[in-house]
Amino acid sequence: MAKRIEASNVSSYYGSFKAIDSVSMTVEPKTITALIGPSGCGKSTFLRSINRMHEVLPNARIEGSLTIDDQNIYDPDVDVTAVRRLIGMVFQRPNPFPTMSIYENAVAGLKLNGVKKKSVLDDAAEQSLKAANLWNEVKDRLGRPGAGLSGGQQQRLCIARTIAVEPQVVLMDEPCSALDPISTLAIEDLMFKLKDRFTIIIVTHNMQQAARVSDKTGFFSIDKTGDPGRLIEYDDTQKIFSNPTEKKTEDYITGRFG
């Protein structure tokens, strides 16, 4: 079941450097939220804070609260592994495991979680590859290397691997930036289908993509190099792109800065 995410005054640090400052937003279940803004404004840092990958870096930490269905995922008694199982992540460049077959890539997360029964793995591979709109293209060559697929197919394989473990939230960090326009369209079509099952947050530099795929958009920005990133505006995507409240948002969308 898709989850509701609530960030309240979230600040993320790399050592003494504050990367983002006091970000607050609510992401409703079964929606697509796009995060836009210039490079270095903290979009990806915020995304990594949601599944507790930020703290993997040395001296990284966050302040504030991040809740998923009212459970603060940074509470000391929360199982970090369980949080990361709940929240899938798709990265900028397709990253199938190079030594694994298409089939092995699709079920890698399940095996990591201790699933061994072949019938369960077979069914999960088929269902996740179908959900990623990849099954018909690969069903006759599941034993071939995942790394041998095209870039767009590799990214859909990574999405299949992510959703096979049945997370409730899927985070995507510029998932189309390395892809051609046709592959990008395939990923965007896939997002629309997946939001029936998952809460999706996507970081993108492509404002047309944000306008096309998302229900809500958050605009991040920084005043000058060395300052923390801030969430300037967060609203319905249609309003952000047609009638933003903040002049900074309007300037960015119309290309006057950033």
Exposure on the CB side of residue 244, measured as CA atoms within 13 A: 19
Question: Could you give the CA distance from residue 7 to residue 26 in angstroms, rounded to a whole number?
Answer: 6
3-state secondary structure of 163: helix
Q: What is the CA radius of gyration of the chain?
A: 18
Decide if 153 contacts 98 (C-beta within 8 A).
no
Query: What is the full per-residue pLDDT of the chain (258 aa) written as tens digits?
Result: 678 999 999 999 999 999 999 999 999 999 999 999 999 999 999 999 999 999 888 899 999 999 999 889 999 999 988 888 889 999 988 899 999 999 999 999 999 889 999 999 999 999 999 999 999 999 999 999 999 999 999 999 999 999 999 999 999 999 998 888 988 999 999 999 999 999 999 999 999 999 999 999 999 999 888 899 999 999 999 999 999 999 999 999 998 764
- DSSP, res 229: B
- Specify the pLDDT at position 244: 97
Q: Which CATH superfamily is domain 5-99+168-253 in?
A: P-loop containing nucleotide triphosphate hydrolases (3.40.50.300)
- What pLDDT is attached to residue 257? 61
Domain boundaries, the chain: 5-99+168-253
What are 164's two structure tokens?
Answer: 């096979």
99's tokens: 């030594």
Q: What is the DSSP string of 14-69?
A: ETTEEEEEEEEEEE-TT-EEEEE-STTSSHHHHHHHHTT-GGGSTTEEEEEEEEET
pLDDT of residue 42: 94
Q: How far apart are CA 254 and CA 197, in angstroms?
A: 33
pLDDT in the model for residue 3? 85
Cα 85–166–160 angle (5° rounding)? 105
Q: At what angle do helices 102-112 and 118-131 cross, to 10 degrees?
A: 120
Q: Quick one: pLDDT at residue 111?
A: 93
